[in-house]
């Protein structure tokens, strides 16, 4: 059997990821291929690294995209920095914090799991107390919890980790390119992200950065890194100075990331963060006007990932399906504790714009009314318009 020509439907991807890629990124992906050791491609790699450092807010030499998705970035941080018998504190206040615990346990390390109610941020004083008592080799924490829409403050955490000799590992999957993030100022030792959210690219790469303390810990290992493919000492030989062969890089995806980073820096980080904030406030006004309440408290609410409770009596899957089939808009359902109880609406990267806000609010109004919810026609769009004014 020969399959038919590929003609996927046009969607507006307003879930937790992927988001729509910027048109310039898609154009860059049609550029003719080069070999992964071609001198021209090696220069493209160097340019991509330099821009990635700027977007991450770091001077870390060991900064590059892993040829895999964001979860590979999470795994890479833990398998490179932890050995059997090491101790690590992992902070879990949502689905991806729980996943971090699972990955850390697989390294053979002693995992001290610090749990927080889903939908809440950690009180840093509580984390500080645990670190001072346990003095672990590392701590893992999620900066932007995609499952709950919660932003976690990291202020002062890096300073304490330096004082205690603890490595700070941070999940920046949903924060990079959307909200303020400066690795060096926050004294983050290892960070990972993804290509398909705030950077406006397709999924397939995981930007990663290791600081000097993380590199020193890597070099001081007594055992081999558990994963050959994710061993930073090996990948660094390809992305580092000698550019020796490690794997065949996804050439078109590197083109995409390079263009996505160019777009981020052309806009400017401060302006980009402000844009995400502005569109979030308009969406928030509209969502609340049609009876959708946020999971996260105002003081720890992400602008790029809006997680709201599904109104009583409104079913999850049939109504998300209607959003997709009738309006071509994808929104996300809940995970873990919020499965069937929450919707997650992403305004990330290229999709953080007024047209996305008005489209999703107009569609939600129709869907909610069809599900029996009491929604005043036009209330959400009008509230968003007022917020922009």
Q: Where are the domains of the chain?
A: 23-266, 269-388
pLDDT tens by residue, 212-230:
999 999 999 999 999 999 9
Q: Collapsing DSSP states into helix, strand and coil, what is residue 220? A: coil
CA separation for the pair 113, 115 (Å, rounded): 6
Dig out the tokens for 358 from the structure: 């008005």
**pLDDT for 355:** 98
**What pLDDT score does 348 carry?**
98
The pTM of the whole model exceeds 0.95: yes
Say if domain 23-266 classifies as CATH 3.50.50.60: no
Enter the tokens of residue 308. 């709201």
Provide the 8-state DSSP code for 68: S
Smallest Cα–Cα separation from 213: which of 264, 166, 172, 276? 166
The predicted pLDDT at position 238 comes to 87
Does residue 13 sit in helix, strand or coil?
strand
Instruction: Give pLDDT < 50 ranges for the chain.
Output: none
pLDDT value at residue 240: 80
Q: What is the pLDDT of residue 246?
A: 87
Q: What is the pLDDT of residue 156?
A: 97
CATH top-level class of 269-388: alpha beta
């Amino acid at each position: 059997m020969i399959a038919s020509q590929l003609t996927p439907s046009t969607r507006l991807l307003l879930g937790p990821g992927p988001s729509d890629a910027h048109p310039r990124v898609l154009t860059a992906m049609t550029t003719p291929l080069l070999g992964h050791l071609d001198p021209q491609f090696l220069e493209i790699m160097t340019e991509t690294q330099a821009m990635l450092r700027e977007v991450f807010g770091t001077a870390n030499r060991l900064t590059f995209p892993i040829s895999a998705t964001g979860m590979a970035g999470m795994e890479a941080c833990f398998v490179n920095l932890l050995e059997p018998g090491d101790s690590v504190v992992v902070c879990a206040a949502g689905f991806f914090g729980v996943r971090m615990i699972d990955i850390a346990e697989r390294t053979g390390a002693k995992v001290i799991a610090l749990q927080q109610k889903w939908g809440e941020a950690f009180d840093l004083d509580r984390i500080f107390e645990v670190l001072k008592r346990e003095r672990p080799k590392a701590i893992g924490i999620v900066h932007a919890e995609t499952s709950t829409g919660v932003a976690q403050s990291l202020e002062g955490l890096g300073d304490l980790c330096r004082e205690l000799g603890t490595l700070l590992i941070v999940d920046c999957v949903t924060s990079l390119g959307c909200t303020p993030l400066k690795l060096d100022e926050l004294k983050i030792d290892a960070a990972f992200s993804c290509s398909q959210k705030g950077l406006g690219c397709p999924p397939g790469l995981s930007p990663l950065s290791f600081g000097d303390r993380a590199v020193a810990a890597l070099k001081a290992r007594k055992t081999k890194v558990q994963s050959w493919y994710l061993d930073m000492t090996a990948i660094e030989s390809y992305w580092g100075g000698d550019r020796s062969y490690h794997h065949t890089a996804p050439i078109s995806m590197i083109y995409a990331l390079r263009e996505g980073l160019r777009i981020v820096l052309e806009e400017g980080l401060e302006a980009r963060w402000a844009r995400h904030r502005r569109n979030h406030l308009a969406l928030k006004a509209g969502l609340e006007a049609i009876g959708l309440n946020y999971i996260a408290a105002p003081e720890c609410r992400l602008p790029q990932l809006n997680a709201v409770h599904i109104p009583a009596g409104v079913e999850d899957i049939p109504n998300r399906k209607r959003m997709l089939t009738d309006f071509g808009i994808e929104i996300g359902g809940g995970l873990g504790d919020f499965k069937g109880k929450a919707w997650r609406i992403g305004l990330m990267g290229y999709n953080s714009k007024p047209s996305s806000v008005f489209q999703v609010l107009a569609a939600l109004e129709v869907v909610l009314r069809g599900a029996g919810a009491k929604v005043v026609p036009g209330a959400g769009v009008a509230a968003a318009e007022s917020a922009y004014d």
